[in-house]
Amino acid sequence: MFNKYWIMTVLFAAIAGPAFAAVERYQVDPTHTYPSFEFSHMGISVWRGKFDQTSGTITLDRAAKTGTVDIEIDMSSINFGLEDMDEHARSPDWFDVAKYPTASYSGKVIFDGDKPSTIDGEITIRGITRPADLSINLFKCIPHPMLKTEVCGADAIGEVNWSEFGMSKSHYGKGKAGTVTLRIQVEALKQDD
């Protein structure tokens, strides 16, 4: 009886152990992560802005082909490369940074074969949460040459409609705020448990 119980325990540990050990946690590298967006300006040019301060975590379970993304963005770090535009974006017409200092993104990583391909997610801006799925154009992990740990990077794209987040003024010169393209450049460092 003891031998049978011991054998079953070892078998369960062998099966369950890798599943628990397979979840890897990554810390977003704020110096190599820049959520950005772009939109048409009156149909004659494209404005682009990015956020300079981002934090968060990503998990991957390659064996189960699952993962999660949890990101927080400091909205005051908006950067168009033009101070007047930055200030306007911080105003109540746009992000209302005084009232809503952060935005967040969370989602589930969906795999296609062995690689993440999309993120089924939600974004919260100005306290309002809406669906925001991302397509992953590039995903790669390598040993970091200086930090001696794994680093993963991705490039993702999606769309949101800013009018759904209570933004009252247009950035297009056409009246109501509308659709913007999200472009996410992210790198994250594997964390040892």
**52: which 2 tokens?**
């300079």
pLDDT for res 143:
92
pTM: predicted TM-score of the whole model, two decimal places: 0.82
Query: What does the longest C-alpha to C-alpha distance in the chain come to?
Result: 80
Domains of the chain: 22-191 (2.40.128.110)
Contacts (Cβ under 8 Å, ≥6 apart) of 137: 155, 156, 157
**93: which 2 tokens?**
């017409």
pLDDT per residue as tens digits for the range 143-187: 988 888 999 999 999 999 888 988 865 454 444 467 889 999 999
* DSSP helix/strand/coil, 149: coil
How many angstroms separate the CA atoms of 23 and 172, rounded?
Answer: 43
Contacts (Cβ under 8 Å, ≥6 apart) of 43: 172, 174
Q: What DSSP string describes 39-106?
A: EEETTTEEEEEEES-EEEEEEEETTTTEEEEEEEEEGGGEE-S-HHHHHHHHSTTTT-TTT--EEEEE
pLDDT per residue as tens digits for the range 61-117: 999 999 999 999 999 999 999 999 999 999 998 999 999 999 999 999 999 999 999
Pick from 9-18, 23-32, 67-76, 130-139: least confident? 9-18
